[in-house]
Structure 1
């Protein structure tokens, strides 16, 4: 039967053979990509994070994704350095973690990333002196209160976006890296955003998206710089997660809870330099890439204009 098929193929015009060959390799490529997607999302085991070091440092740990990361890392047996601006919330989170994971050691460091950042970083350096910081989660970040055009962004918000999202992430990483380099091991996770990578543009959130694009490129460069030093650097790219920043209260299949996201995120630490840990988000990513950019731009603009209108309405009610 095989000989018969080969004879039939030989009798076909060369252009048909070319198309068949092209189709075969295209199908093979798609099949291998799909099998890889299944493996990394459902079968690949997470790394033993304690091998990086016994402590993890998390910025922005009092709410949202950062808080979920803190609980998940404590569950994995790591001690925690929690860096946030509100001492009362830091204490509350620390006590909640200790009540659930009693053996976890926790250090709280009060830093306002929109304030005196140099002083805050000095306090971080002092707090981590002598500690094996094996995992760094750069989670702290700010966004717009609601969508707005660039000329509507006031100086304070503009300064905070750049200072917290760009300067804060950079300086905290710079503070933690020397210890990792000395021990020749460590994992750095920077929280990016689909607004900077998945969609071609994020109108009315331009500065936020640009700061997250910085985080993505910063992460990739560090991944190359420090890979041979035993340090794994990664930019995680979540899409919508049910958080206060996203103004989403309820989770769904495509919008995970913060706990659902963090649980998925831990399995990816130490692997690819850029990833989308929550697998349903990869479906949305593939959909966005399959559509014309002009269509996605138009849809996103109309969506953000709706957010802007609702935000302006809320502001006007507050003034009444």
Structure 2
């Protein structure tokens, strides 16, 4: 039975349907041409006007039939593409549910273990503080995952509140890092061009900070180095201002660069490195960028060679001041 599964595969059904439809049209045309030739020969033999037998409208019917077949083929192809995208989204959603369940369950299990330790054992104050710190980290991880889902739902429904305020993005990025160093405490983070440059742009500050934290934590999450490195720099040309976030992480294959901003997509390397996270971080980043009329892109020289994420904002001269 397993060998016969290919017979029910959508691709096979799609190809077979097109083949059957095109073949039927070809056979009809072939049959008509052959019959017409025979009837024309018979008409000449009996001195009958061929036009009386072979109506000119017949070719019009064939042309219309061909157009209808073409429309049917386009319809079949559209349904096939839509079906494949639906199947892909279904697989991604299943993958997301499995991984996100793990993302929620792991900190909860850890918290339960620490709390049971507190109940069953009389531990020193020093150990208590150590375990409490671990618990706080788990709570933060759990909270971040829940907030990511809630924020994504609000952004997609366009119900995210907050106003856009003209802000110096260079200073904001530096201040954000200074205030969140604890999240990147085992990393080397370098911010270049600061404080030489300033760039004012209307942003929703909470959303932009969400964009930054996703880019920075991704650089750490997908990294095998003993000391992850993140470099942040700013560039401006005549048309755009760009924020570059580069790392020394696992890198990206060319085929993955186009997929990483998709909803639920998770990077899976050829060496079977397990997927991490919920698959929503970069999708969230892309949506936040669009809300700011900006564009987010990725670059990488390949597996193991790090990645660069580039946020490009359109230049607005009236908002820019260079020092």
TM superposition score normalised by structure 1? 0.31
Whichever of the two has the greater Rg, that structure is 2
TM-score, normalised with respect to structure 2: 0.31
